[in-house]
Structure formats: structure tokens, C-alpha cells
Amino acid sequence: AGLDLRRPDDRACFETLLASAHVLVHGYRRNALAGLGFDEAARLRANPDLIDVALTAYGWSGPWSKRRGFDSLVQMSTGIADSGMRINASDKPVPLPFQALDHATGYLMAAAIVRAILQRATTGYVLSARLSLARQAKLLQDRPAQSAVEELAMVEERHFAPGIEETPFGPLRRLRLPYTIEGVDLQFAHPVCRLRSAPSRWS
């Protein structure tokens, strides 16, 4: 689904969805939603029980807090790519071969949501969370550096979920989920689809 919050009809749709949401996850620059009329106070007025989880590239304070950014840019601007250049004895920046900041921050966001849902269910208190890719980069860089560069393991057959899924992009295979829950058969609820092709409503 996709909404343009500058359009009155899409704004009304978003407000309806927001009022009945359990969790809102958003990755806009600091104050970007406020500029569209949906600052934190407005979101809470629409839904006082809303768990609000926000992600920015460069944090929530300081001169870079309103900058746009994504994983690869943050790796460049925080020194990760510089470290890669030195470790690999290269003459140009070498970022990580995968989007480590996205993945790691995503797991932290998921953990924050699970904790907030449990807290709300047991105490009635509503929690929110703020995360940034730059902070995740700092956590990564604070870990002791390895003395040797290890080869990445190749994807093997055991990493794939069974079956082939027909999609608008052709036949695809999904990777298995990286976790299990005892007694629960974890399945993907929806097939792969094109961006903004689903209706803007809760299913």
C-alpha cells in the first residue's frame, strides 16, 4: 500500500488506519512527519494506545539529525567504509558486503515492539522507541575488531524455505525465517507483490 499525506483523501485514510493501529513504525527524518501535520502529539491524539517506533539515519539531536540517509551512506559517513578500506588494504572506501545496520537495527526495533506490547498488556503503560542507523554504527564500531577477515558463508539449500512462489517478478524462493517458536508453524501471511499494489486497509 502507499499513501501521499499531502493529499486530503490519503490523509483521511492514514488517520483512520492510525486510530486503529497497535504499532506505528516509521523511518522519516526527525520532524518530517510533523511537517505533514502528524507530530508525536497528533499521533497520540489519534490513538493514545499507539506504540510509536521511529528510525532515523543520523539520530535525534545534533547538526545531522534532519539529514536524509540510508545504510550505505551511514557506513560511509561514520567510518565503517574507512575501516574496511584499511582492513582490505584498498585505495578506496570498502563498505560491508551487506546492509548490516539495517538488519541489526531492524532486530532492535522488533525487540522494542515485543517489549512494548508486553508492557502495555501487563501494566497498561504505552512505550515508544527511537533508534538510528548512526547509533547502530557506533555500537558496531565499539566492538573489538577481528584480526582476520573471514569469508562470508555461501547460501545453501538448507537456508531456503520449501517451495517456489509465483510472483509478479517471476518464480522466487524465500529464505527461511532466522528463528523458530516452539509449537508455532511460522508462515508468510501474504504473497510477494509489487510496491503500493495492496489496498490501504488492515487485512
Q: What pLDDT score does 148 carry?
A: 59
- CA 152, CA 16: separation in Å to the nearest integer? 45
Residue partners of 185: CB distance under 8 A and separation at least 6: none
Q: What is the pLDDT of residues 25-81, one digit of tens each?
A: 999 988 899 999 999 999 999 999 999 999 999 999 999 999 999 999 999 999 999
Calculate the CA dihedral of residues 47, 14, 199, 116 and round it to 10 degrees. Answer: -30
Mean pLDDT split into 10-residue runs, the chain, 203 residues: 94 96 94 92 95 96 92 95 91 92 96 97 96 96 73 83 91 88 85 90 87
Which residues touch 133 (CB under 8 Å, ≥6 apart)? 55, 56, 57, 58, 69, 70, 71, 74, 101, 102, 105
- Helices 133-141 & 100-123, crossing angle to 10 degrees? 110
Q: 102 catalytic, yes or no?
A: yes
Dihedral sign, CA of 37, 41, 43, 46? Answer: negative
Cβ atoms < 10 Å from Cβ of 14: 19
- Residues 4, 102, 142, 185: which is the catalytic one? 102
Under a CB-based contact definition with an 8 Å cutoff, are residues 3 and 201 in contact? Answer: no
- Give domain limits for the chain: 8-145
Which pLDDT value is given to residue 50? 97
What residues form DSSP beta bridges with 23? 51
Distance CA 74, CA 54 (A): 17
Largest CA distance in the chain: 56
Q: What is the pLDDT of residue 147?
A: 59
Give the model's pLDDT for residue 203: 79
CATH superfamily of 8-145: Crotonobetainyl-coa:carnitine coa-transferase; domain 1 (3.40.50.10540)
